[in-house]
A and B are shown apart, each in its own frame.
Chain A
C-alpha cells in the first residue's frame, strides 16, 4: 500500500489493467447447440430510455447486423408483429416462456430474442457531452422457452480525453449503436 501511495503512476497502471481484464457478463447455456439455430425472431425491445424510438432503432440495427452475419435468418419485423397479434401478446417485448414457444411454432423459428434498451441518447458532464447506448439481449430457445444466452453491452459515453479537453458531440448515435450491437454479436458467437 505504501508503495502505491508513493507511486500514483503504478496505481493508475494497475487500475487500467483491472479495467482491461473485466469480464463481459454474457451467459451461454452449455448444453445448447447454437449451431442448430437457423431462424431467429427478434421481438420488439423494451425501452427504458427517454427516447421514444430508441427500442425500434436498436432493434432494426441488431436484426440487420444479425442477418448480415449470414449465420442465421431473421424473420421480418412485420411478420413478428402479425404473430404477436394473433397470439394476443399483451407486451410483445417481454413474452413468457409459453408465449415464446407459441411464437416459435407459428413463425417456424428456432430462437426468440428479446432485449432491453437501458440507455440511448446524450450524456453530459460539466464540460463534455457524448452519445451512449446500453443494451441487454436475451435469447430463448423455442422448444422450452428457456433462456440460452444473455449478453449486455454499453458503448459511447464521455471519454477521459473529452473530460479533460471539454470536447463535445462524440460519435453519431447510429455508429455507437452499431458498436454496441457488434459487441453483443461477438459475445453471442464467441
Chain B
C-alpha cells in the first residue's frame, strides 16, 4: 500500500516537472517511472547587495529539503560538473549546463535559490526566491517560490511572537520553501508568490489589446536596469516578476539563465535600455513572443524598526511581431502606504513590497487571458508534441 501510494505520488511529481515544462524537447531523457525526481541544489546566489553567509544558508536549505523528502543529488557531483565547465554563475541555468547536469549528474531538475535580503540584526529580515528548473533540452521553470519575512511581521500580543534570532527566522523561511516545493512535487497546483503581501497595482499603465492575444504565450524577463542605489536591485525586481508570471498559468516564462546565456553569447548589453533591434534578436533566439523589463528607480529597505521600505520602478513589455510596446507602467509606494492603525497591513521588507507591486502589475497585464492548456498522456506526462506549444520562429 505504501509502495503504491509512493509510486503514484512520484509519478505525479515527475508529471509536474514534465507538464510545466511545456517547451520540453522530445529528445529529453524521460525520468524513470516510479522514482522520485533527482534534483540538484545550486549554491545560494547572493543578491543582497552585501555580505551574507551563503554557505551556511545553502547547507541549511539542503537540510530542509532532505527533511521534506526531496531527493537531492550529491553536492560534490554538482560542484565537479560546474567546476569542470568553469561555471561560476549559479543564478540561472542555460541549455548547456542543463544538459551537462542531466547527463553527468543524473539530475532531473535544478533548484536555484536567490537570496535578496539578509539582515542578521534585529528586527531580522530575510527574502528569497527559489525556483526549480528542469534539465530538459529547453530548461523550463517547474516551480517558483518567493518569500520575504522579518522578525516583526506578526508581533502578537505584547510582542510575544517577535522572532528573537536570525537562525530561527532563517530556518522558518527555509522550511516554508522546502515544504512548498515538496508539496508542489506531490500535488501540482499554482503557488501564490509571497503570500504574506497583498497586491499593489501600478499607478499609470499603458496596455495594448495585443497583450491578451492567446497567440502570444511566451515571455522572457530581462534584468531591470538599476538606477537605485542598491546593488542587484534590477535582478531582484526581475525575479519578483517571475513568480506571479509563472503562478498565473496563462503564459510561459523563459528561464532567466537561458536569457542570460543568449545575451552573453550575442553580447547584447542593456545599457540605456534594450533597443527594439536587440529585443528582436533576443526574442528570436529565445523563441519568445514578449520581452519584459524595466527600470528600478528606488529599492530601499526600512531603516530600523519604525521605517518603511520604498520601491519605485517602471516596467515595459515589447512585442516581437509588431515590434512595439504593448505594456508600460510606473509603480511607486512605501511599506506603510494605507496603514493607519497599529501597523496593520504594513509591509516590512522591500522585497515583499516589490513582490506586491509585481503581483499587481502582472495581474493587470494578464487579465482576460485564458489558462494555458497542458495536454497529458495517461501517465501524467505532457506529450512530446507539447514542444509545439512554444511558438515557432516567425
Contact = CB atoms under 8 A, between A and B. Distances in A.
Contacts of B204: 61, 64-65, 68, 178
Interface string A66-78: 0110100110111
B273 A60 contact: no
Contact of B227 (A53, A67, A70, A76): A53
Contacts of B334: 172
A105 interface: no
A172 B328 CA distance: 21
Interface stretch (B9-17, B61-69, B310-318, B375-383): B310-318
B329 A64 contact: yes
A53 B297 contact: yes
Given A67-B325, A74-B325, A174 B275 contact: no
Given A60-B295, A64-B328, A81 B314 contact: no
A76 B332 contact: no
A65 B276 CA distance: 21
Interface residues of B, number: 26
B272 A81 contact: yes
Interface in B27-47: none
B69 to A, nearest CB: 46
Most chain A CB within 10 A, of B276, B277, B279, is at: B276
Given A60-B297, A76-B318, A81 B328 contact: no
A78 B206 contact: no
A31 B269 CA distance: 43
Chain A residues touching B, range = 20 to 34
A57 interface: yes
Nearest to B314: A60
B314 A64 contact: yes
A56 interface: yes
A71 to B, nearest CB: 11
Nearest to A81: B272
A67 B325 CA distance: 10
Contacts of A98: none
Interface in B256-311: 272-279, 295, 297
Given A53-B297, A78-B275, A61 B324 contact: no
A72 to B, nearest CB: 10
Nearest to A73: B324
B205 interface: yes
Contacts of A82: 275-277
A186 B203 CA distance: 18
B7 interface: no
A95 B21 CA distance: 49
A29 interface: no
15 contacts: A56-B295, A67-B206, A68-B206, A76-B273, A76-B276, A76-B325, A78-B272, A78-B273, A78-B275, A78-B276, A78-B278, A82-B275, A172-B334, A174-B332, A178-B203
- The 4 A-B pairs at the shortest CB distance, nearest first, are namely A78-B273, A67-B206, A82-B275, A78-B275
